[in-house]
Amino acid sequence: MAPDDNTGHSRSRGVSRRQFVKATGASGVALSVAGCTGNGGDGGDTTTTTGEGGGSNAGITVQFGADSNFKKVQPEINQILHDNGLAENIKLEVLAGSFTTGDRQTKYKQILNAKQSSPTILMMDNGWTIPFIARNQIANLSKEMPGSLVDKVMNDYFQASVSTATMDGDLYGIPLFADFPTMLYRKDLVREAGYSDSDFKSWQTDSMTWQKFSNVVKESLEANSDKDYQGYNFQAAAYGGLSCCDFVEWMSSWGGAYFGGFDNLFGPIGDREITVTEQPVVDSINMVKHFINGGNPGGKFGDYAGNISPNAVVQYKEESSRKPFQSGNVMFHRNWPYAINAAAPKYGDDLGVMPLPYAVSESESKYDNIGGISSALGGWHLTLNPNASDKKLDAAKQIFQAITTEEAQLSLFELGGWIPPVPDMVASDEAKNLDTIGPYVDSLKVAGENAVPRPVTVVWPQQSSQISKEVNGSLQGNKGAKKAMSDLEKSLEQIESSV
């Protein structure tokens, strides 16, 4: 049982986990650090536009497959690029599409298999960039970009992120932003339950246990019972975001894992222990079932508040869960930094952000670097479509040069909550002084220090779909947590043995 206090929240384990990811990234292993924020550009077949005359000063419009959040701020992004060296005759046009990572992956497969020339720039989840590299479907940036830029990315960026965009020592994607989830909450509503600014200041960097968190949510609901608020929402639909992120966070915070310790995250496939039937993993599912329906499944949650999450969470993805929080109907909300940027202008000083809760400390887990605060490690890359025209590719390379400047990265951080992919910039004084996201940088730093990659290998896409199906089915009450994990173990074993 997790202790009912908020001790052991931000620990040295976070640093060791970060060091592990950096070391593994440096070795060239394909880590998964792709966040599951949808960021799903449609990347359709729209024809690009060039200025008349075709001369060197003609206008060039480069299409960029991204999501609606990028589309909403297209003028601002273009201004940032032009302020950081992009020629005025080059314009970025954002193609907005699905906000689901799997939809983006499927669309890009269609585009690149058909050798379509548009869009020129593809924003790829770094959890599935490697397969496109292996199929030789995106441009080799080590051959296309100046050596100075490639060296900067290879040496200065988050190494775990870079490793998901490299193969055989060559760079195929430039990390656009890193992603670390946090818990957003309404200070104004939580104050009604007796909590004060001193609590909020502590919570900003010191996580609490899931046990305490559930009771804070329940108390806040009861203190505001005159209105029909929802307590805590998150993403638990049967999609990649559940298997890569929310479920990883729950079971890791209980000391559980897919394949045991960190050393087994990335293989060897077929020669690693599958550990999803272990009690911490089962407990993590039962905890979330208790949050949704109460009933104390598994018998360990008598001190945890139940019925604090809406039944709708089993259908929620990023945007479908964010919108109720943004509209004022939800008190506590797990999401990526873009949600902070969206909520901050509405709630102002009443917006609280804290690291995700945990169930057991690392010392209580049988695995090193598992347990305690556990934040799914995420992010997206910029890649080039090699089928684009030479003119478009040349313009895209200039965009890459502009967007990798420190000033541009800080501006994007402020504009959309897109965390700079350079460690030294995340909690810098410059970042803390940003108007919108700056007050929450310390929470993001703790989340980043306690980040957990997902186990991406060549079989991860098949495994991911099985994981999300079983976990979602159990949360919906279709089967118990033990049965779901037993069935999942068999599926994972079959997939591992097929390679």
- Percent with pLDDT over 70 in the chain: 89
The answer to which of 188-202, 292-306, 327-341, 442-456 has the lowest mean pLDDT is 442-456
pLDDT for the residue numbered 266 = 77
Mean pLDDT value across residues 181-209: 98
pLDDT digits (tens, 9 = 90+) for 446-481: 998 888 888 877 788 899 999 999 999 999 999 999
**pLDDT, tens only, 343-370:** 999 999 999 999 999 999 999 999 998 9
List of residues 6+ apart from 199 with CB closer than 8 A: none
pLDDT of residue 219 exceeding 80, the answer is: yes
Mean pLDDT score across all residues of the chain:
88
Amino acid 456: pLDDT: 75
Residues 367-390 have pLDDT tens digits of 998 999 999 988 999 999 999 999
Give residue-wise pLDDT tens across range 26-39. 333 322 233 454 43
Identify the pLDDT of residue 163: 82
pTM of the shown model: 0.81
In whole angstroms, what is the distance from residue 29 CA to residue 130 CA? 11
Contacts of 345 (CB under 8 A, 6+ apart): 436
Kindly tell me if the per-residue pLDDT of 84 is higher than 60: yes
Q: Are 183 and 357 in contact (CB under 8 A)?
A: yes
Q: How many CB atoms lie within 10 A of CB 478?
A: 12
Can you give the pLDDT at residue 1?
Answer: 38
DSSP class per residue in 465-480: HHHHHHHHHHHTTSS-
> Looking at residue 424, what is its pLDDT?
84
pLDDT of 22 above 80: no
Q: Judging by DSSP bridges, how do beta strands 330-335 and 182-186 pair with one another?
A: antiparallel
- Structural domains present in the chain: 12-28+181-375+459-497 (3.40.190.10), 60-180+378-452 (3.40.190.10)
The predicted structure's pLDDT at residue 420: 93
Alpha carbon distance 382, 119 (integer Å)? 12
